[in-house]
Amino acid sequence: MQVLYFGWVRSKIGVPGEDIRPPADVATIADLIVWLKGRGHGYAEAFRDLSIVRAAVNQEMAQLDAPIRAGDEVALFPPMTGG
């Protein structure tokens, strides 16, 4: 599963993305975030307040309870500030 980070989520984690293989019980974006938080301080910082974390699955916006599966491109990022 390809995971991408943007904005201060990327800054805090320290990498723009990574190829990961979460355990089988990671079924949603929220599950994935909980699992990622266990990987280190940067992750825990990035995902401390989930009210300001947004997600996309395969380049479409998704709610945190949306299902994910192997092969998906999952992106995690702050609220967007375009324009």
Partner 1 sequence: MIKVQAEDFDIGAALATLTAGKTHVGALASFVGLVRDIAGEHRIASMTLEHYPGMTERALAGIEAEARARWPLDDVLIVHRYGRLEPGDRIVLVATTSAHRDAAMNACHFLIDWLKTKAPFWKLEDGSGGAAWVAARDSDDDAAERWQTSPTAQKSPTST
Q: Which of 59, 20, 62 is nearest to 38 (CA)?
A: 20
Compare residues 24 and 76 and give the one whose CB is closer to partner 1: 76
Rounded least distance, CB 19 to partner 1, Å: 17
Task: Name the token pair of 21.
Answer: 């293989």
Query: What Cα–Cα distance (Å) separates residue 51 from each residue in 22, 24, 69?
Result: 23, 25, 23
CB of residue 73 vs partner 1: minimum separation in angstroms?
A: 9
Catalog residues that contact partner 1 under the rule CB under 8 A. 4, 6-8, 10-11, 52, 56, 59-61, 75, 77-83
